[in-house]
Structures are given as C-alpha cells and as structure tokens.
A and B are shown apart, each in its own frame.
Chain A
Amino acid sequence: MIFSLLVLHVAVCAVLARAGRRLGRGSLLVGAVPPACSALWGAARLGDSQPATADLTWVGGLDLAMTFRVDAFAAVMTLIVSGIGVLVLVYAFGYFGPGTAHTGRFATTLLAFSTAMLGLVWADSVWTLFVFWELTSVTSFLLVGHKSTDAAVLVAARRALMVTAGGGLVLLAGLLLVTGAAGTTLISELAPVDGAGAGATAGAVLVMIAAATKSAQVPFHAWLPGAMVAPTPVSAYLHAATMVKAGVVLVAVAGPALSGIVAWRGCGIAFGVASVVWGALGALRHRDAKLILAWGTVSQLGMLITLFSVGTPAAVLAAVALLVAHALFKGALFLIVGEIDVRAGTRHIDELGGLARSMPVAFAAAVLAGLSMAGAPPLFGFVAKETAIGAALGLEGPEAWIVGFGVIGGSVLTVAYTVRFLVAVFGPGPETPLSARRPALSAPPAVLAAAGVAAFAVLGPLDSVLAPAAVRLSGGAAVGHLHRWPGLEPALAVSAAVLVVGAIVGLAMGGRPGQAPADRAARWTDASIDGAVAVGRATVARVQHGSLPVYLVTMAAVATLAATPFLAGISLDHIVAWDRPLQGVLAVTVVGAAVALCWVGTRLGAGLALGATGIAVASVFVVHGAADLALTQLLVEAAIVVGFVLAFGHLSRSFPMTGLRWRAVRMAVAGLGGAAVVVGLGAASGNPVAAPPLAELAAASVDEGGGSNVVNVILTDIRGLDTLGEVLVLATVALGVQALARPSASRGSPTP
C-alpha cells in the first residue's frame, strides 16, 4: 500500500507535468486526489497498533534499501501532511483566479513536495529519510521561487535553499556518525546510544543542527520569514504545517535513541528556547500580517524542538499534541491572511480595518484559530499548552529553569502576539475595500479552525490516537493522557496567569503605530552565502586552472605519496624475472618506447612511441593468455591513433619549449610515479589476504552468469554495478567533450 500510494503520487505528478498547461487551474483539483487517498489511508491506520512496513532492497550487499514504516506517529503525520495538502490544493484553486499563468506548474511542484514530505515521515531507513529530506528542500526552493520574475523572490528562494540544503549536508555527516555508533540504519531499530563516544556526540549535535536549519531555529531562522514571498498556499502548507516540521520530526524520531546524550538535549533546548523568545519578539514587532505569523511559527517550532529535546514522556506527549494543534491553527491563520491578501490587496496591518464586519466567516475562523494558538479553552491548543506547562513544571535541575522559562515565557508572548494580530488585522479602522467572495478561499481555513474545536470536543478518541504516537517517540515509556480539564493544579494557575498577562501585553501593543524592524538576520545569512560563493569561486580559480601538465603532475604526486606506506610491505621473494623469455623482450620494448616517448621533440614521433608502448603491453597480455585484455588494448590503441590524426590538425608540429626546472620537476614526478606503481604492485602481490577466487568465479560464471568467458561475466554480472559506474563515467566524458566542442564549433573558425 505504501508503494502504491507513492507511485500514485508520482504518476499524477508526471501527468500534471505534461498536461498542467492545458488543465490550468483544474490541475490543482486533480493534484488533490493522491493526497486525499493518502489521508484516508492514514486515517484508517490511526488506531492500528501494528505498523505498516514496505521495503525495496536494491543493493543487498551494500545494505542499500528504500525502507518505510508507518507507525502510530507516522500515521498522525500522514493525516497532517495529506489532509492539509488536500485543503491547501483546494484553497489554491480559489487563490489563483481563473486564467492565472503557471498554475499547472504550481500544482505539479506542490504535489511533488507533498510526495517528498510523505516519504520523509514514512521513512524508516535513515538514508531514505535523507533522500526525501533533500527533495523537500528542492521542491520548497521551487515553490518559494514560484514568481520567478521578481528579484526579491529569487533572493529569498536562494536563501531558503542554501540554508536548508546546507543543513542537509550537515544531516548527512550526522547520520553517518550516529548510524556508525548505533550499528543500524533503521530508525525503528535505533537503540539508545551511549553518550560516551565522541563520534556519537558529534553526530547527535550535527543532526540537531540540521533539524534547526530545516525548522528555522535561531540563528538559522532568517529563511522562513523571507520565504513569505511565496504564494500563500505554499506558506500555509510548507512553512506552517509540514516542511518546517521535518526538523521537528527528525528530533522526535531520533529522540529515543539520542536523548541520553547531554549535548543533544543541551543543543536542542538552546536552539528551542532562543527561537521561542526571539520568534515571538519578531511576531510582536512586524507589521505585515503574514510576517507576524511566520515569526510566530519560528517561536512555535522552537517550543516543539524544546519539548522533543527534553524527551520526558510528558514533554513528548505535549509536543505531539502541540504539533497537531499547530498544524491546525497556523494553517488556518495563514490561509485567512491569504484570503485577506487576495481580497483586500494588502496584508499590512496599518492598511487593514473593519474586517471583522466585512469578512465574518474569516473573522470567526481567525478567532477560533487564534484562541487555540494562544492556548485558551475550549480549544485543542489549550490542551497542548496545558500539557506543555505541566511537563515543564515536572522537570528538575537547571533544565527545569531554562525549559520553564522558555515554555511559560513563550506562552505569554504567544498570547501577546496572537491578541495583537487579531486586534490589528480585524480591529476597528477605516473599512478596507474588498473584492468578491470566493468560496474556495473561505472554506479550507474554516474547516481547519473548526477542527481545533472538534479536537477539544472529542479529546478521548483523539487521545487514544496521539498517546500511542507519543509512546513510540518516548521509547515505549508510558506517557499518560491528554485531559480536557486538568483539575486545579499548578499548571492551570500558570496557564491562567499566562493568558491574563499576555492579553494585557497584546492589547497594549495592538494599536500602536511603529516601524517594522530591519531584518538583520536575513542580511547576515545572505552575506555568509555570498561569502561562501566567493570562497568557492576563488578555490575553483586556483585549483581548476586549466593547465593539463600541472593536473597530471598533481595526480602523480598524490598517487606517489599514497603508495609510500606500502614500502614496508614489499617483499622480493616471490618476484621472478620472467615466466618466459619473451616477456623480458617485451618489457624492454615497453621501457624503450617509453624512454623514446620522452626524448622525441615532435608530436608525431611521440604518438608513434605511445602506440609502441601500447602494442607492446598488449603483447604482454597475449603472452599471459589474457585475450580479452589484449583485444581491448589493441582496439583502444587504434582509436587513439585516429584521435591523434584528428588532433594533429589543430596542434603545432613540435612540443612547445619549457623551462629546464619545470622539465626536471616533471621528470622527477613521472619517475617517482612509476616507482610508486611498482611498489604498490609488489606489496599487493606479496601480501595476499585470501586465495585467488579463480575457481569460485569460474563456477559462478557458468551457473549464475550463464557464460563461460569469466572476464565478461565479471563485467556484466558479478561486478555489474562497477561496470555501470564505469560506463556512466564514459557517458559523462562524452557529454563533457560535447560541451567543450560546442563553443568552439559556434565560434566556427577552423585552425588554418
């Protein structure tokens, strides 16, 4: 089923890529079909305690496989990713008016992203997860840069790509270290890793940094507010509900294995608490409704990272609840702001007024979603916030203070920016003129906001779905339950105080005029990207200088250095002068031709001498009975001759004169390179680690490969993957030659 769903997604993607232009806006609705199927399947799996698995091993010997596993947590994530995906695609149908250009492309990319995100939450092998992680980065880049004619959009898209893809590289390094320490690449088999090893600690920190880049944690957060230049469906889907949750999901699923490592918890809590506070402050200062929500997302993601990093059962349960609640309320609020943007033509809070009266449905939905975000009863956000505060109060030691500060202080600020948002956007003021109502725009946010109320109402069944997910993420420990009304506990008092203080701050900030802060973090991020690109350019200019002799000398020198350790292992006992005297004659011929090659001054002479070495080497193969090698070698020599004939037309008759010192260097390196090969071969043949597998290969050749020429069966079957790699290199060379030839062909002036 897992593969069928993925194939369905990809197939519809392919169809939309071909037919998107003709279908236009309709492709958004076609694109909603696969997520709808996935969402239904995810919903059906919610109560199922037995995880669904699927795997496709493609190179068993290298442990390379696509492995998926949909457990209780993945089922919840499936419902979020695909359910909100359907709503967003329907919403996009209303967002892009009739006749908007490139809606087919948009639908294709959004569906591709949805597929990648599903793969990410379903992945069990860390490498499967990694591949889909990178795919979400790429599709996110395409979606942020959808309006590709705007320079500001391109800058923001580049920033998002560089930060998240850079984080992907960090993730790769981290996963290598962590899987090395844990001894498995399957997430479901990750046992708690001992924190003593330096490798495990470094790996855990790298994984946490990668999660922080993806989930826009301070100081990597600048790309997320920047990405608000994307169309609103993208902001609601990627940058509120799903993609930014990828980092959170990573921290969540790796939590049971890594939470024993002090650096993992410390790093996560540091990123999380800093983001909770800084994001909320940003949300309080910005004046663009969409940016307010984006900064609020940074803050909420910080809260999730904090709770998952703490990793106590209560904190994990709170985090799972908050994850779901956030997807519902933040998705709804983004969609509402998008509707305002489309209908009022602006989303700047100074220019909006009277919307409570003119957009009643949106207002009601915004109030419900906003109150859920603030954590007020009777909404699902209240349950999540209550559980989080309870979890924070239940901690001990220095962690308790920091996490308590983050959760409670963050909650106060969240209430404050929520109140400010609602007052500023919907509050009194000169009435903003609106364009006509579009049902496709108002329905999806209303559904999401209503889901927040419904979730509170049916908390019992919901708890029976979310608690198993939390159990999975806390390594099997009992996590307790979500409560609609926790009773008169310290957490309730704190919660009430939070609401009162936050509301006062929010109301005080709400109507205040002011300036949006300058975005320094974005400037720094862009400056560091520019710096990295400049360093890259300078390095390439120095290393890829284009001088063929220097490349060859460098390669030979490195190979020589690499051969020096073998000097110790060389033994002379098994080396015989020759098996047959003819070999000696041929060896002398090879050496003589090589020496002659170095002495002749004309290119034609050098070509002849090179051919002589080649043919003499081929003769050595013949004497040894290696007919395949000899045949191939001779054919290659023939091809080289033709190449020379063609190339000589473009070159001078003699080699250019070179300085004496440079000549000496080249001679020395060439001589040492040759010596290195002799040393390497001597050491290798003198120290066999196993008997030559000749007999087994010959037997396997006939039985498995179905052929009696062992050399070719090795090439096409036994070591087929190597051959595939080699011919791909050849294909790349052909492309390179073609690319090099093109500019000269277009210049079009043959050498006289």
Chain B
Amino acid sequence: MIRLGIRAASPFAAVVGCYLLFAGHNNPGGGFAAGLVFGAVLALRTVAGFHQPTYGVALVAAGVLVVAGVAVMPLLWGGPLFDQQVLSVEAPLLGKVKAGSALPFDIGVAAIVVGTVIAALDGLGASEFAAGPPARSDGGERE
C-alpha cells in the first residue's frame, strides 16, 4: 500500500522539483530546494525497494563540473567571475522565456545535492531495502 503510494506520488514530486528548479530565480525555490525534493523522492523510492542507490559520487562530480564551469566561463570573454548572462526568448505557447546562466548553476547545485543524498543513502546501508536478495546473501557467505 505504502509502496503503491510512493510509486504514484513520485512523478508528481519530481515535477514539483523541476518547478522549483526553474522558478527559483523569481519565486521561492532554487537549486538547493529542487535537489532536496529530488533527493527525497529517490530516498522514498529506495526505502520502498524500487531502487538501489548508485552513481552518487558521479552525480556530485558532474554537478561540481557544471557549477565550476558556470563560474569560470565569463573569464573566457574577459568578464568577472560569475558574471550573469541572461538570454530572453519569445517562445510559442510559453510567452516570454528567460534563462540566465544561473539556471545551469542551479542545475549543478541540484545535482550535487541529489548526489550527496544518494551517497548518504548508500553509506547508511540503504541497499538492504532493495528488492531481491543478492546484496545480502553475497556478503553473508563471504565471512
């Protein structure tokens, strides 16, 4: 029953996370909050046994690269570190769409947060919750 609930709720929670990620620049939200929502979704799904936490550190590394890239990029055209570049487009249906370099920055931050949550789940032994026995019996017999 709980598993079903988690399964049903997770897409909506993920959408909320995406909303927070994109809305953050003008409304409450942002990369950190979005990362926490995604992290919570993953954590719930892990506890429910849908996932095994993996690639946490890889995600963190990717996030660090993106964040550092956004920070250093303006140096290439002679601007100061973290110089904000804003791109404004008139898109069909959506109206005026604005995206600054803060967006990739926030995405990077979110990736780092999610990666940290995954690493923490892994560290706390969340793989025990995973469906199927392999992880457990494997370790037990080796002793």
A residues neighboring B (CB under 8 Å): 56-60, 627-628, 631-632, 635-636, 638-639, 642-643, 645-647, 649-650, 704-709, 711-713, 715-717, 720-721, 723-724, 727-728, 730-731, 733-735, 737-738, 740-741, 744-745, 747-751
Q: Which residues of B contact A749 (CB under 8 A)?
A: 139-140, 143
Least distance between B18 CB and chain A CB atoms (Å): 15
Most chain-B CB neighbours within 10 Å: which of A647, A704, A748? A748
Q: A628-B29, A716-B105 are in contact. Are A731 and B123 (CB under 8 A)?
A: no
Least distance between A128 CB and chain B CB atoms (Å): 15
Interchain CB contact under 8 A, A642 and B84: no
Which interface class (under 10, 10 to 19, 20 to 34, 35 or more) fits B?
Answer: 35 or more
Q: A720-B105, A740-B123 are in contact. Are A646 and B47 (CB under 8 A)?
A: yes
Q: A738-B119, A748-B140 are in contact. Are A639 and B128 (CB under 8 A)?
A: no
Q: Which residues of A contact B108 (CB under 8 A)?
A: 727
Q: Which residues of A contact B57 (CB under 8 A)?
A: 734-735, 738
Q: State the majority secondary structure of interface residues on B.
A: helix
Task: With CB as the reference atom, state the residue of chain A lying closest to B86.
Answer: A706
Interface presence of B71 (CB below 8 A)? yes
| CA of A721 to CA of B61, assembled, Å | 18
Counting from the closest, the 3 A-B pairs by CB-CB distance are A748-B139, A741-B123, A707-B25
Q: Which residues of B contact A727 (CB under 8 A)?
A: 63-64, 67, 108-109, 112
Q: Which residues of A contact B40 (CB under 8 A)?
A: 635, 638-639, 642
| CA of A247 to CA of B109, assembled, Å | 43
Task: With CB as the reference atom, state the residue of chain B lying closest to A704.
Answer: B84
Q: Which residues of B contact A717 (CB under 8 A)?
A: 82, 84, 102
Task: With CB as the reference atom, state the residue of chain B lying closest to A650.
Answer: B125
Interface presence of B75 (CB below 8 A)? yes
Least distance between A121 CB and chain B CB atoms (Å): 24
Proximity string of chain B (89-104) to chain A, C-beta cutoff 8 Å, 1 when within and 0 when not: 0000000001010100
> How many interface contacts (CB-CB < 8 Å) are there between A and B?
173
Task: With CB as the reference atom, state the residue of chain B lying closest to A727.
Answer: B112
Interchain CB contact under 8 A, A724 and B67: yes
Proximity string of chain B (46-71) to chain A, C-beta cutoff 8 Å, 1 when within and 0 when not: 01000000001100110110011001
Further pairs besides A628-B33, A750-B140: 6, Cβ < 8 Å: A635-B40, A639-B43, A642-B47, A731-B64, A731-B116, A733-B116
Q: Which residues of B contact A744 (CB under 8 A)?
A: 125
Q: Which residues of B contact A713 (CB under 8 A)?
A: 25, 102
A-B contact pairs, 18 of them (CB 8 A): A628-B28, A628-B33, A631-B28, A631-B33, A639-B36, A639-B43, A642-B121, A705-B100, A706-B86, A707-B26, A708-B25, A709-B26, A720-B105, A724-B68, A731-B60, A745-B122, A745-B127, A749-B143
Least distance between B22 CB and chain A CB atoms (Å): 11
Task: With CB as the reference atom, state the residue of chain A lying closest to B24.
Answer: A712
| CA of A601 to CA of B38, assembled, Å | 33
| CA of A721 to CA of B82, assembled, Å | 8
Task: With CB as the reference atom, state the residue of chain A lying closest to B102.
Answer: A716
Q: Which residues of A contact B120 (CB under 8 A)?
A: 643, 734, 737
Interchain CB contact under 8 A, A721 and B139: no
| CA of A708 to CA of B27, assembled, Å | 7
Residue among B20, B113, B139 making CB contact with A730, cutoff 8 Å: B113
Least distance between A634 CB and chain B CB atoms (Å): 9
Q: Which residues of A contact B68 (CB under 8 A)?
A: 724
Q: Which residues of B contact A730 (CB under 8 A)?
A: 60, 112-113, 116
Q: Which residues of A contact B117 (CB under 8 A)?
A: 639
Q: A727-B63, A730-B113, A738-B123 are in contact. Are A709 and B27 (CB under 8 A)?
A: yes
Q: A709-B24, A720-B82, A748-B139 are in contact. Are A645 and B67 (CB under 8 A)?
A: no
Interchain CB contact under 8 A, B60 and A735: yes
| CA of A738 to CA of B60, assembled, Å | 11
Q: A58-B75, A723-B109 are in contact. Are A649 and B125 (CB under 8 A)?
A: yes
Most chain-B CB neighbours within 10 Å: which of A56, A650, A731? A731
| CA of A712 to CA of B60, assembled, Å | 21
Q: Which residues of A contact B3 (CB under 8 A)?
A: none
Most chain-B CB neighbours within 10 Å: which of A707, A716, A741? A716
| CA of A709 to CA of B60, assembled, Å | 26
Interchain CB contact under 8 A, B100 and A721: no
Q: Which residues of B contact A627 (CB under 8 A)?
A: 28
Q: Which residues of B contact A635 (CB under 8 A)?
A: 33, 36-37, 40
Task: With CB as the reference atom, state the residue of chain A lying closest to B99.
Answer: A706
Residue among B28, B56, B138, B143 making CB contact with A738, cutoff 8 Å: B56
Most chain-A CB neighbours within 10 Å: which of B31, B106, B119, B139? B119
Least distance between A643 CB and chain B CB atoms (Å): 7
| CA of A213 to CA of B139, assembled, Å | 52
Interchain CB contact under 8 A, B128 and A750: yes
Interchain CB contact under 8 A, A728 and B64: yes
Least distance between A741 CB and chain B CB atoms (Å): 4
| CA of A748 to CA of B36, assembled, Å | 29
Q: Which residues of B contact A632 (CB under 8 A)?
A: 32-33, 36
